[in-house]
Amino acid sequence: TSSPHYDFVIVGGGTSGLVVANRLSELHNVTVAVIEAGESVLNNFNVTNVMGYSTAFGTQVDWAYQTENQTYADGLQQTVRAGKALGGTSTINGNSYTRAEDLQIDTWEVVGNKGWNWKNLLTYYKKSEGFEVPTEDQIAHGANYNASYHGLDGPLKVGWPYSMTNSSVFHALKDTMEKMGMNYNPESEGGKMVGFTVHPDTVDREKNVREDAARAYYWPYETRSNLKIISNTRGNKIIWANSTAGGDAVAAGVEVTTEYGTEIIYVDREVILSAGALRSPALLELSGVGNPALLGQHGIPVKVNLTTVGENLQDQTNNALSWAGVDTVTGLATFSALPSVNQLYGDKADALAASVKSQLASYARTVAQASNGVLKEANLLEAFNLQHDMIFKSQVPYTEIVFSPLGQSFAVEYWPLLPFSRGHVHIRSANASDLPAINPNYFMFAQDAEAQVTVAKYIRKSMATAPVSGLIREEQSPGLEVLPTDASRETWDKWVKAHYRTNYHPVGTLSMLPREKGGVVSPELKVYGTKNVRVVDASVLPFQLCGHLVSTLYAVAEKASDIIKESY
C-alpha cells in the first residue's frame, strides 16, 4: 500500500484548525487532512449543554495542563484547561462571544503586519458569523445589536439563548453601573467595548446547544470526500525534505502516533499547525525549529534557528467574589462591565499612568532577562509603550467584570485585560508524549497584582450601589471576615494569589511580528525559515486582546484561509 498523502495537513482540529480545514476543502482539487488528538464530542452532554460550563473540566476532553510553580504567585501551580476534542477549546469554553477593541487589531499593522487591521478583519468576523437576531423579548432583557457589524450567513451561530429572558436583573445592573459612571453599550462587537453590555454567545439558539468549531465548521461538511479527519491521533513533529528551497526548510510530512503505532502522513503543499498557543510551539521545537540552546539540551538537531519560539506568552488572571442572592434568578444570562482605567481609578489614573510609564523600561529588562536574552529589551519596550498608550491614552477597557446571578447566588468574576507579565512555553524533552513546561509568570509586575485588587474593590462598591444592593444579601466569598473593608494591601495580595485562576487566554507564543522584532511567523502566518509551514491559532496573536479570544481566532483563521488559497 502507498503512504497516505494530502495537499494540506493540519495538526490540531480545534477552534482555528477546523476553519482552515473547511475553507481549504472548498477547493475540489485539493485534499486536506486534520490530525486531532481528541475525538468527536457531538453527543457529549458536558459539551453540548449551554448551562454546563465547567462540567467538562477534568474529563478526557480537557488537557488540564499544569504550569510551572509561579514565582510571583507564592510558588503555586495553575491548571490551564484546553479542549482535547474535535473542536478544541471551543468545546469546553464559556461560549462568550466578544471581539476586540478596534485599535488593538490596528496595532498589529502598526508593528509591521501589513494588511492586519480592524477594518480588514471586520470582514472576516462577519464572514464567520451566522448572527441570530435577538427577539423583542431578548432585547428587553439586554440583548442588542447594530446590524452593520454582524454577518448573517457565516457558519458560526452567534446569539443569545432563549433562556436569558428568564433573568430579571438586567435593568437593576444597568442602573447600578450607570451610577458607577459606566454607560450601557448596546453593541460591543463594533470595536468599542467600554461600558456595560450583554454580549452574545456561541450558541445554537434553536437547538439550545453549544456552537463549537466542529458543529459550525465540520459536521455540516463531513461528507466532503477531500476532507479527512484523523482523530485520536497525536502529531509528533514535522518531517523535513532532504533539500531546501532557496535555503528555506521544506516540510515533507508529519509524524503521527495512533493507537496502532507511529507513521508518517505526507504533504504535497503545506503543513499548518493549529494545536493551540500551548502546543504549536512544542511541535515546532520537536521538529528542530527553535532556540538552538534549548534544542541542544534535548538532543534535537537544529533545522531552523528561531530563538523566540515559545516566548512572549501572555495570559490573564481571574478572581471571583460572590454574594447570597435575594431573588431567585433562573435562565442563562451573563452581564459584562468593561471599564476603562479612568473609570476604575478615577482621579488617581493620571498618577498611575506616569508611574507605570516610568517602569516600562524595567519591565522590558525583566522580561528580556527571564527569556535568557532571547527577547530584546527594545522590542519589548516598543510593545509595552503601545500597550500603555492603549490603556491610558486610548482608554480601551482595563478589565472585564462578569456578573453571573443564578439561583440564590450572585457570582462576580473579573480579570484585568492587559497585564504586562510575560512568560514562555517549551518542551520538557524530545518525547512528543510529554506535555510542555508552561510558565506564564503571573503577577511578574506589581501593577498586575495591584489591578487585581483595585477591581475587586470596585466590584464591592458596585454591589453596594442601588438598585443591585437590594437584590443581594451578605458577601459569601471571600466575605468580610476574610477581607474586611479596611484590609491591608498585603492581605488583599495574599487573597488574590491564593484564589486566582488563569483566565485561559494564552496567546503570543509564536507571534506574528517581523523577524527582527522577535516574530516567529510572517504576516502570511508562515514560519520564518520554512517554505511551507504556517501557524493558525492563538499562538500568532502578537498581543493580548480585550475581547475573549474565539471570535478573533475564527476571523484570523478565515483570513489565513484566504491568504493560503491566494498563494496557489
Displacement of CA 243 from its chain's centroid (Å): 37
Residue 237 lies near ligand FDA (rule: CB under 6 A): no
**Window 62-121: residues binding ligand FDA (CB under 6 A):** 81-85, 88-90, 92-96
Stretch near ligand FDA under the rule CB under 6 A, chosen from 2-10, 44-52, 292-300, 546-554: 546-554
* Choice between 379 and 539, CB closer to ligand FDA: 539
User: Grid coordinates 432585547 are at which residue?
Assistant: 139
DSSP H helix total and E strand total for the chain: 15, 23
Q: Looking at 449, 520, 553, 555, which residue binds ligand FDA (CB under 6 A)?
A: 553
Residue 14 lies near ligand FDA (rule: CB under 6 A): yes
Residue 307 lies near ligand FDA (rule: CB under 6 A): no
Stretch near ligand FDA under the rule CB under 6 A, chosen from 169-177, 218-226, 355-363, 542-550: 542-550
Q: How many CA atoms lie within 13 A of 282 on its CB side?
A: 24
**Smallest gap from residue 14 Cβ to ligand FDA (A):** 2
Residue 316 lies near ligand FDA (rule: CB under 6 A): no
Bond before 186 cis per omega within 30 degrees = no
Distance CA 211, CA 203 (A): 5
Residue 279 lies near ligand FDA (rule: CB under 6 A): yes
Alpha carbon distances (Å) from 457 to 272, 293, 450, 487: 45, 45, 11, 11
Distance CA 292, CA 295 (A): 5
**Smallest gap from residue 527 Cβ to ligand FDA (A):** 16
**Smallest gap from residue 286 Cβ to ligand FDA (A):** 9
Distance CA 25, CA 11 (A): 15
DSSP 300: P
Q: Looking at 100, 321, 520, 538, which residue binds ligand FDA (CB under 6 A)?
A: 538
Count the residues of the shown chain that bind ligand FDA, applying the rule CB under 6 A.
Answer: 39
- Which residue of the chain is nearest ligand FDA when measured via CB? 14
**Smallest gap from residue 506 Cβ to ligand FDA (A):** 7
Stretch near ligand FDA under the rule CB under 6 A, chosen from 7-15, 237-245, 348-356, 405-413: 7-15
Burial of 417 (0-12, 13-18, 19+ CB in 10 A): buried
Residue 152 falls in which region: left (phi positive, over 0), alpha (psi -120 to 50) or beta? alpha
Distance CA 440, CA 71 (A): 10
Distance CA 321, CA 335 (A): 15
Displacement of CA 304 from its chain's centroid (Å): 27
Q: Looking at 155, 195, 276, 440, which residue binds ligand FDA (CB under 6 A)?
A: 276
Q: Provide the pairing of β-strand 129-131 with 424-426.
A: unpaired
- Binding mask 412-431 toward ligand FDA (x if CB under 6 A, else -) reads --------------------
| Residues carrying an active site annotation | 505, 548
- Binding mask 37-56 toward ligand FDA (x if CB under 6 A, else -) reads xx------------------
**Smallest gap from residue 314 Cβ to ligand FDA (A):** 12
Q: Looking at 235, 310, 423, 542, which residue binds ligand FDA (CB under 6 A)?
A: 235
Residue 199 lies near ligand FDA (rule: CB under 6 A): no
Q: Are 529 and 306 in contact (CB under 8 A)?
A: yes
Displacement of CA 135 from its chain's centroid (Å): 29
Q: Looking at 199, 205, 234, 303, which residue binds ligand FDA (CB under 6 A)?
A: 234
**Smallest gap from residue 209 Cβ to ligand FDA (A):** 15
Cell, residue 345: 481609578
**Smallest gap from residue 93 Cβ to ligand FDA (A):** 3
User: In this structure, which amino acid lies at residue 110?
Assistant: V
Residue 12 lies near ligand FDA (rule: CB under 6 A): yes
Q: Where are the beta strands (DSSP E) in 105-160?
A: 129-131, 156-158
DSSP-based three-state secondary structure for 158: strand
Q: Looking at 32, 33, 35, 449, which residue binds ligand FDA (CB under 6 A)?
A: 35
Q: Given the rule CB under 6 A, which residues bind ligand FDA?
A: 11-16, 35-38, 81-85, 88-90, 92-96, 234-235, 274-277, 279, 504-505, 537-538, 548-551, 553
